[in-house]
Structure formats: C-alpha cells, structure tokens
C-alpha cells in the first residue's frame, strides 16, 4: 500500500494473518536455535510473549469484518 490509499478490512486481515504466520515461524526458528544453545532462552520467551497480542488484534479485526454492517448501522443511529 502506498500514499493515502486506505487498505480494506479484508486487506488488513490478510496482512495480519501473514504477520501471525511469520511470527509463528520465527518462534519455531528461535526454538530450534535455543535447543542448539545458539540463542538465549530469554529471546524465545520475549518472542512467544508478543504473539498473543498480534493474534488478539487479528481476532478483533476479523470480528469487525464479520460485524461491519452492524457497526455501520450503529454508527448511523448514533449520528441521528
């Protein structure tokens, strides 16, 4: 995405799904490195601790996507 183009909710969901997949893959890589004593355990813990927040953001965005029409209608009702 460039400039002032606003990504759609579907595009945002897709992007966050990619972030979650990549982060899980990174966690697996760090696990392997920790097992070989090539990285400290603290890095793995820090990496694992960030995943729930990203997954929660993805779930929130998916909820918004599923409830978009109700959100729009509620916003219109408040504007009256």
Q: How do residues 12-35 score in pLDDT, each as one tens digit?
A: 999 999 999 999 999 999 999 999
pTM of the model: 0.82
The four Cα atoms 5, 9, 15, 19 give a dihedral, to 10 degrees, of 130
The four Cα atoms 12, 16, 49, 42 give a dihedral, to 10 degrees, of -120
Residue 71: per-residue pLDDT: 95
Residue 2: per-residue pLDDT: 57
* DSSP designation for 3: T
The 10s digit of each residue's pLDDT in 28-63 is 999 999 999 999 999 999 999 999 999 999 999 999
């Amino acid at each position: 995405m460039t400039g002032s183009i606003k990504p759609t909710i579907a595009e945002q969901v897709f992007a966050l799904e990619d972030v979650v997949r990549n982060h899980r893959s990174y966690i697996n890589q760090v696990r392997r490195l920790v097992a070989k004593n090539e990285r400290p355990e603290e890095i793995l813990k820090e990496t694992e601790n960030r995943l729930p927040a990203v997954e929660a953001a993805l779930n929130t965005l998916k909820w918004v996507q599923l409830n978009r029409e109700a959100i729009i209608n509620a916003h219109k009702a408040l504007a009256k």
